Amino acid sequence: MDLWTIQMAQWRVARDLKIPLLDTTIKSGDRVFAPSWDIVEQVKEGTLSQLAYTELYTQLMRDSYRVNQLRWIEVCQMPVVAISCYCPDGDFCHRHVLAEMFKRVCQHQKITFTLKGELTKRHRPELGEG
């Protein structure tokens, strides 16, 4: 599995490179991998630290894995995927925590894993801005 992270606003980059996009937001995405509304609201209000967010989200994803193990493995078996959310590149974001969790699941399942980094416009082929 080659795993990229990407800001949702950059979805055209993934499309142009033919990299499947996995929306991991609570608003519009696959809820198996999304943070809860409560966590998102606390972050927006500034009442939840990065450490507390990471701890809460990690526990939420551990629970998700127990209940949705087949979905986790299905994603891990994809040759390449970009996990996305709305947070800007460079900001603290759950997609980076999730990437590390996918790494651990792949290791446990003996699936080759490569974290490719943040997919941005600089990766986009010369196809114009379409």
For the residues of 42-73, what is the DSSP string, one character each?
HHHHT-S-HHHHHHHHHHHHHHHHHH-HHHHH
Per-residue pLDDT of the chain (130 residues; tens, 9 = 90+): 999 999 999 999 999 999 999 999 999 999 999 999 999 999 889 999 999 999 999 999 999 999 999 999 999 999 999 999 998 888 888 999 999 999 999 999 999 999 999 999 887 765 444 4
| Of 17, 3, 15, 1, the residue nearest 123 (C-alpha) | 17
E strand or H helix at 75: helix 69-76
User: What is the value of pTM for the model shown?
Assistant: 0.90
